[in-house]
Structure 1
Amino acid sequence: MTEPPMLTPAEAFELLLAGNQRFVAGELQHPNQDAARRAETAAGQRPFAVLFGCSDSRLAAEIIFDRGLGDLFVVRTAGHVAGSEVLGTIEYGVSVLDCPLVVVLGHDSCGAVAATRAALVDGLGTTGYVRDVIERVTPSVLAARAAGLTEDDDFIAEHVRQTVDLLLDRSRVLADGVATGRTAVVGLSYRLADGSARRLAARGLPAEAVAAGPGA
């Protein structure tokens, strides 16, 4: 496979946002989704971003960012909760695959956040390993409540921000990448109704790249 040029974190972020803007406008290009790309990537991969998102069936990363084979290294869990396996997978994308960008992707109407709020407010219990998901979302919900937030979107936004902070706090690979300018970690929130992804947090991007992206 011919090695593509290395992108800076800002270039990778711009490329990702451009795809989402095409998706919102209904002007999809479907890049890298043909037989030629399949053959090109058979021998190896060089994705330009790690996409760590919620497992919600409406957040198919390659569709909502209009990308194709070999473009995104995708990790998804309910409520984008991160355990050691998730952290290791994200670090693999950064340290082995040289992804310059890590994106945490949340969304409105998140069931994991709603279930956590219900468990804390109403004492509604869960069974099995769903309880583990709720336990991992709980610090975000408590932080939002402590800040006086009441709206669903505010709780979801706080959970995205908390996840960005958690990745940087727990992963030396990501923290060092941001500190040296090799990596950026960005939090986005996806709107189900219109398909847009708005920025909630950005670590490691230059000021002009942050200003250019869609903000909250």
Structure 2
Amino acid sequence: MSIQDPQINVSRRGLLKFGAGAIGTGVVTAGLGSNLVAPEKSVAQEPPAKPPAKEEEITPDKALQELLDGNDRFSKSKRKNPHQSYSRLAEVAKGQKPFASILSCADSRVPSEIVFDQGLGDLFVCRVAGNIATPEEIGSLEFGSLVLGTKVIMVVGHERCGAVDATIKGAQVPGKIGSLIEAIKPAVQKSKDQPGDKLENACKANILLQIEKLKSSSVLSELIDAGKLKIAGGYYDLDTGKVSLVS
């Protein structure tokens, strides 16, 4: 559908106001394409269920702490495996209200719901090699924060990232893989004179670079300024399962 479709031609400021109300509580829950189109049936339908108190009251700081607490449980083999029951499946089938968004590497060893000990409907996750903030990833995270109401975005890079390593080595790669390397190059350049492990430094610099790109979004910056959103960086240790904050 064209973005000029009158059914979805809403200003960002108007959507910000609307997002805190009807959209955030379930009108837009299954995805951008299906639920922003006017329904064929009458709109006089049963109202969405009221979100749990935890989801209503959570702040950006509390959302970040929930992620860190979940990762602490995971790294200490004390997972609670929350929200993974069939009743939770039925609950979130009616609508989603995740409390956090994650921009992480596509690496198979870093599955967000597991390493943060969360379950169905808790996290809005974007995964791409090198955890880079492409226009599509930024748009997705804008949707997660503005429309679905996530309170924190964590950019999660990880130890021994292959995409960052390839960028450091100047690897010659086929197809579209090179676009990943181009997106990571500024971080490698910025970290090249830092003492210590070159790959680790570049991985952490890349996390901060992608945070900068996210903060350049007018949608996300407005939410941050309003105290409704926090963006944080996390570095995942493949050997211990621990996420440490990067700043």
What's the CA shift string for 1:130-153, capped at 9, x where partnerless? 011101111111111255675221
Residue 59 (1) aligns with residue 110 (2): yes
Distance 1:159 1:180 in 2: 26
Distance 2:57 2:156 in 1: 23
**What amino acid is aligned across from residue 204 of structure 2 in structure 1?**
A
Q: Within 5 Å, give how 1:67-216 maps onto structure 2.
A: 67-119=118-170, 124-145=171-192, 151-169=198-216, 171-201=217-247
CA 1:161–1:41 in 2, change beyond 3 Å: closer, same or farther? same
Distance 1:186 1:40 in 2: 29
Distance 1:146 1:84 in 2: 29
What's the CA shift string for 1:86-140, capped at 9, x where partnerless? 1110000001001110000000100000000111xxxx31110001110111111
Distance 2:173 2:165 in 1: 13
Distance 1:190 1:178 in 2: 24
What's the CA shift string for 1:142-191, capped at 9, x where partnerless? 1112556752211111111111111102x111111112211000000000
Distance 2:179 2:241 in 1: 29
Counterpart of 1:29 (choices 80, 104, 115) is 80
Indicate the residue corresponding to 1:47 in structure 2: 98
Indicate the residue corresponding to 1:3 in structure 2: 51
Distance 2:121 2:222 in 1: 25
What's the CA shift string for 1:30-80, capped at 9, x where partnerless? 000001100111110000000110000000000001100000000000001
CA 1:20–1:46 in 2, change beyond 3 Å: closer, same or farther? same
**What amino acid is aligned across from residue 73 of structure 1 in structure 2?**
F
Unaligned runs of 5+ in 1: 202-216
Q: From the CA coordinates, give the structure whose radius of gyration is larger.
A: 2
Judge conservation of contact 1:108–1:153 (CA < 8 Å) in 2.
yes
Unaligned runs of 5+ in 2: 1-48
Specify the SS of the correspondent of 2:192: helix
**What amino acid is aligned across from residue 176 of structure 1 in structure 2?**
E
**Could you tell which deviates more after superposition, 2-11 or 145-154?**
145-154
Judge conservation of contact 1:107–1:192 (CA < 8 Å) in 2.
yes
Judge conservation of contact 1:54–1:76 (CA < 8 Å) in 2.
yes
Judge conservation of contact 1:51–1:104 (CA < 8 Å) in 2.
yes
**TM-score, L = length of structure 2:** 0.77
CA RMSD of aligned residues (A): 1.3
Distance 1:32 1:150 in 2: 38
Matched positions, count: 196
CA 1:25–1:136 in 2, change beyond 3 Å: closer, same or farther? same
